[in-house]
Amino acid sequence: MDRLNYTPQPKPTVERLSYAAFILLSVAFALFFVMPIVWSFANSFKPAAEALANPTVLFSKAFSLENYRRLEHVGAGWYVYASNSVLIAAGTVLLTVTVSVPAGYGFSKFRFPGQGVLFALIMATMMIPFQSILTPLFLILKVARLQNSLFGLVLIYVTFQLPFSVFMMRNAFDAVPKALIEAARIDGASQGTILRRIMLPIALPGIATVAMFAFLNSWNEFLAALIFLSDQNKFTLPIMLVNVSSGIYGIIDWGALQAGIAVTMVPCIVLFLLLQRYYVRGLTAGAVK
């Protein structure tokens, strides 16, 4: 009877103040990270003259698509650079996932001589600065006749994305209980069937995380695209932003620049919103083993 008549005690004042302070601090941090995005989109819809005269003003009374129309006259046009970026990012994601998934599965569920040394060597490549091997990479692409090629640039991105991706996939597969694999083997399933029908659905958060990192890194990369591509029709969006930022006498064209930034940001934001439910689970897969 005492339990039925029990009424919960109100939270102490200190606890409520701590919770309110936490909410205010979270909102402040959210605004701090969101405001640059809002500022870029707001300036992209200003008239070009107003964006140049008052770039710090957030909103404008006039709504204009002039800045986006001007992107069509930058080089080959923003849609050409966007299509190149899409092809490169899609190729990087596809090859990275295709290689890292079976590699991570092999390091996680199989034991073979030199496994630890091989995995350590793969991880050690993450410590090599990308800028320090640009010249050897350029010579390799030139010998392979892949210099100034979108596919050659994809191979470069995949090479530097694989160590992290293999590490992520090994952790994701480590989180899968061995009992599931043993039960599938008892039922007569082959290794391909186990990987395709059992492991991949369970490790989907890790695959989504690998795909998202591969997309973002290849989509936003600038230096390799600038060095390995010489044909203007094969440039990517980050290179376009450099070309559009300089106006007459070196004055920054804020309106066109912010329009280009908005075009570049939209796919990244959409991809993150679609995969955000897998993102945290993918990063923490295998952490509690």
Q: Tens digit of pLDDT per residue, the chain (289 long)? A: 455 555 555 556 777 788 888 899 999 998 888 888 888 888 888 887 777 777 777 777 778 888 888 888 776 778 889 999 999 999 999 999 999 999 998 898 888 888 889 999 988 888 888 888 888 888 998 898 888 899 999 999 999 999 999 998 998 888 888 888 888 888 787 877 888 888 888 888 889 889 999 999 999 999 899 889 888 888 999 988 887 766 555 667 788 888 888 889 989 888 888 887 776 665 555 444 4
How wide is the angle at C-alpha 274 spanned by C-alphas 271 and 275, nearest 5°?
85
Burial status of residue 270 (CB atoms within 10 A of its CB: 0-12, 13-18, 19 or more): exposed
CB 248 within 8 A of CB 177: no
Write phi, then psi, for 252 (nearest 5 degrees).
-70, 125
pLDDT, position 246: 60
What pLDDT shows up at residue 230? 86
Contact call for residues 229 and 153 (beta carbons, < 8 A)? yes
Token code pair at residue 154: 């994809």
Q: What is the DSSP string of 112-179?
A: -TTHHHHHHHHHHGGGS-GGGGHHHHHHHHHHTT-TT-HHHHHHHHHHHHHHHHHHHHHHHHHTS-HH
Query: How many of the other CB atoms lie within 10 Å of CB of 198?
Result: 16
Beta bridge partners of 252: 246
pTM: 0.82
- Sorted by where each starts, the structural domains of the chain and their CATH numbers stand as 13-67 (no CATH), 72-284 (1.10.3720.10)
For 269-274, the CB contacts below 8 A with 24+ separation are 269/37, 271/212, 271/215, 271/216, 272/212
* Tokens 């450099």, located at residue: 242
The answer to whether residues 40 and 261 touch, using CB atoms and an 8 Å cutoff, is yes
CA distance 207 to 105: 12
